[in-house]
Structure 1
Amino acid sequence: MHIMKCKTEEDYEKFAIFFLQNRNMFDDMYPILETLGSLSIMIEETNLLLFYNIQQEVIAAASYTMGLREDHFKSKEIVFIDCALLKKEYQNSRSFVNGFSQMLKHILEEHRDVKEVQFYAYRHHEYIHRLYKKFAKIIGDSEGYFGIQDIFSVEFEKLMQFIEGFYKKSENQKN
């Protein structure tokens, strides 16, 4: 898996197609008009990333901002992961951790001042919610398009340590 930041029209088109094809991961009933509105905002206001497999197929996409939207992106110390989608066949611990690790390294390369990572998870997405609780704490909630979403926060270094620990654990299990 490798990561690439969207910079060209072709990149944005690939992101849009992937997002449209996988929008039901957010909710089974994500209307196309709402999806297009979300896409428009993401393209205009966030940093978009594409993740490719060895065959150069897009297998995941993510968007993030520096700072929080309600603060109009002022903080350079907080990265807010707005959206992350991973194709069903890649939804396993190893792919999740690999993609998350690459995304964090990419963010740190571009934004050296990052100290905190924030993201949200809808409460009805129980698996994701439980997963995030393993390495982050809930700092608030908000009403999202698909229901109540909890806002998670974790120190950047602590998250990197968690991910590195996961790699060490899986390597030890192989031996």
Structure 2
Amino acid sequence: MYASFSVCATEAYQRKYMDFLLANYEDLRLPYPFPVAFGFIASPIFMGRECFLCLDDEGEAIGAFGYIHGTGEGNYEDRHVVQLQIAFLSKPYRHTRLFLRGLQALAKHLNELNEMVTELVFWTGIDDYAIRLFDKFAERTRVGELAVGYRLTLRHLNAYTARFKRDSASILPKSSVCSSFKEEIAVGRLFPVTCNQDREYARFVRYFLAHSDEFDERFLFFDAVAHMTVSLRESRMLLFDDGNGKLQGYIQYRMEAEGETVFIESAILSPAYRSGIQFYKGLAEWTNRVMEEQVEIHRVRFHVRADHAYLIRLYSKFARKIEETESRGRAELIFETAFDELRSYLRADDTK
């Protein structure tokens, strides 16, 4: 099998880039809380053509890296400096030959940019293997408790990669071949999971991005990534797993009005679980969880598209329209209900 490196110049490739890194989040071993770490993963998306995928000959992602122009120390005005934000290869593919191919792809790309790049900076966690590897071609600039910083000039990177024969493709280990299978979904009970660990945050964001286009065709992937970078810092999430531990839905919410109002930012269930009973059970479980977190809840508010007749009929059964607003050039209705009345309607005490 062979591997190639491709610039993520389309939304489809950017989606694959984000999905691959989030699926492997625990193996990234980033030394930061998830909301901060997500910024490192997502920031190359905002730059356009500054993230890359390593694909096998079946088009499956086996690696990824991304960078931005400028550094925090230079107030991001030092655009001649490229800062690598993330780089990862799946374990079966971590061999020197493929790593060098990645360096060559990066060097070629930087040399062909319209703007001048003279220097690269990056960091790695405290990992003996990674440190030995990077010491071969880059200069240490900082050694901290959590990370080691590096720098090298683009000229030096060019010279280093030129020392190795540049193949048109890299042969992957035979162990990378796997048989395909068709996943069968057995619809059953969903189990609530509190999202308070980095692993759960990564699962939530991966699921949100995969389903973001279902909210509104005007809600672009770029918008979804930007929304996550902002909302993760102040939102709470309740996840819903099936019996196999696979995420099938969530409710994202935040507290407002000094904790008296809970605002539901977004919620979705996988298509196979979009029945009335699953919706009502999930909402009831959520009210129980909110009561555990916040005692004095008076109101629940949420938005719905003004042109979505089905959802308006559904929500009108337990909430009332109080206002109309606009989002992305489309009218939205604001619904509100008393928290206790919602719990009574859902018979939430019966789900405890």
Q: Report the TM-score when normalising by structure 2.
A: 0.44
1:10 pairs, out of 196, 199, 209, with 199
Q: 2:220 aligns with which of 31, 53, 61?
A: 31
- Matches for 1:131-170 after TM superposition, within 5 Å: 131-145=314-328, 147-164=330-347
Q: Could you list the runs of 4 or more consecutive aligned residues of structure 1 that deviate by over 3 angstroms after TM superposition?
A: none
Q: 1:94 aligns with which of 266, 273, 277?
A: 277
**1:13 alignment partner AA:** A
Classify the secondary structure of the residue corresponding to 1:45: coil
- Cα deviation for residue 146 of structure 1 reads 6.0
| C-alpha separation in 1, matches of 2:196 and 2:334 | 28
1:81 equivalent to 2:264? Answer yes
1:150 CA drift (Å):
0.7
| In structure 2, distance between residues paired with 1:58 and 1:114 | 27
Please state which structure has a larger fraction of its residues in helix. Answer: 1
Identity %: 25
Aligned to 2:296: 113
3-state SS in 1 of match to 2:325: strand
The CA deviation at 1:164 is 1.9
Residue 70 of structure 1 corresponds to which residue in structure 2?
none
Larger radius of gyration: 2
Secondary structure at 1:10 match in 2: helix
Deviation readout 1:1-21 (Å, 9 max, x if unpaired): 221222222111101110011
Question: What's the TM-score, normalizing by structure 1?
Answer: 0.86
Contact 1:61 1:84 in 2 (8 A): yes
Structure 2: unaligned runs, 5 residues or longer: 1-189
Shift in alpha-carbon separation, 1:42–1:5, aligned structure 2, 3 A: farther
Task: Give the aligned residue type for 2:197.
Answer: T
Unaligned runs of at least 5 residues, structure 1: 68-73, 168-175
Measure the CA separation in 1 of the matches of 2:295 and 2:337.
16
Determine the structure 2 residue equivalent to 1:170.
none
* Number of matched pairs: 160
Q: Give the aligned partner of residue 129 of structure 2.
A: none
C-alpha displacement of 1:142: 1.3
* DSSP-derived class of the 2:318 partner: coil
Which letter does structure 2 place at the counterpart of 1:155?
A
Report the AA paired with residue 281 of structure 2. N
Indicate the residue corresponding to 2:36 in structure 1: none
